[in-house]
Amino acid sequence: MTWANAALLSAGIMALVSVFDSHLVSKRLPSLRAFMLPVGVIHLVLAVITAFVVPLPVSLLSSPVGFALLSSFIRVGAILILLDSLRREEVSTVIPIVYTYPVLVAVMASVFLDERLESLQWAAVCIVVVGAVLVSVGRGPSRSDVVRPRAALLFLSSLLFAAADVTGKQALADISSWNLFSVGAATMGVVFISLGLRPYVIRSIRELPDHGRALALVAGNEVLAPVGIVMSYWALERGPVSLVSTLISSRPLFVVLFALLLSRIAPRFLFWTGGRRTVLLRVAATVLIVGGIAIIEIH
């Protein structure tokens, strides 16, 4: 498997994970903390197992592990914003805005890694911004009365994902994708458990009429997520950070397709609004975003 194929496969897997995350935090579980607690436990267990099977080859005080920790904390911050947004807004609206981040990766690479963008690639930045604006214009009703600040938070999440990829690339120069995953999973596990371990959260989960089914769905989704995560790290380890991020940014297309399919076969599975015109606008905006990002590296 090439790094390009791995990046695209990761995009598809993580799109499916995003769709189920949206269902879990908006439909199945009583609160975001109730979602974070079991997810944190699962990721902490996975981190321990991975670290035991593929131990870190360097000291915890070394630079690569420091970059891995920095990347992981930044990524967890981005994920927290993303999950909170998925609870409040449609997945097909949230993901395209967040996944403008490869543009920011390209900018960061030009500043910190001395990579130069051509004029057509900078034009692609404008195409991506237009696509993101169209997604915002075409959004349906929100669970939150606060819409504009939510859009700003989504762009902050995008910025954090970009910084996480750049610092993660630095770490992968000396450690493996499995090492980066174990550090990231441990970081997510500790942060999520710290935020979610509250008596009222445990009580709210126990009081769910179908808490067993809900927790099983969380477990299945979080077993699938590491596959996509490790594939993205594996691709990042072997390919240029801007191009890998570009391919992974095809995730919004998969999300829109999955969400559209589910809106037809299971209308109540996701928070989904809008008629044919809104759907077409979202698809067009997503194509603009992914197409603009692709120009940055394909040209």
**Gyration radius (Cα) of the chain, Å:** 19
pLDDT of residue 121: 64
Rounded-to-integer distance, Cα 139 and Cα 93, Å: 6
pLDDT of residue 117: 60
DSSP per residue over 188-205, as a string? HHHHHHHHH--HHHHHHH
239 in Cβ contact with 7 (< 8 Å): yes
Q: Which tokens is 183 given?
A: 């550090």
186 in Cβ contact with 47 (< 8 Å): yes
Question: Which residues have a Cβ under 8 Å from the Cβ of 215 and sit 6 or more positions away?
Answer: 38, 205
Rounded-to-integer distance, Cα 240 and Cα 102, Å: 12
pLDDT of residue 197: 93
pTM score = 0.79
pLDDT of residue 109: 74
Closest to 254 (Cα-Cα) out of 273, 275, 228? 228
Q: Which helix (H) or strand (E) holds 206?
A: helix 199-206
DSSP per residue over 134-196, as a string? HHHHT----SSS--HHHHHHHHHHHHHHHHHHHHHHHHTTTS-HHHHHHHHHHHHHHHHHHHH
Question: Which residues have a Cβ under 8 Å from the Cβ of 49 and sit 6 or more positions away?
Answer: none
Rounded-to-integer distance, Cα 185 and Cα 54, Å: 14
Q: Is 53 left (phi over 0), alpha (psi -120 to 50) or beta?
A: alpha
pLDDT of residue 244: 80
pLDDT of residue 102: 75
**Per-block mean pLDDT, blocks of 10 residues, the chain (299 long):** 85 86 80 91 94 79 82 93 78 72 78 69 70 58 46 84 89 89 95 94 88 87 90 88 77 73 62 60 73 66
Question: Which residues have a Cβ under 8 Å from the Cβ of 249 and sit 6 or more positions away?
Answer: 11, 99, 100, 101, 102, 289, 290, 293
pLDDT of residue 103: 76
Rounded-to-integer distance, Cα 193 and Cα 183, Å: 15
Q: Which tokens is 11 given?
A: 């995009």
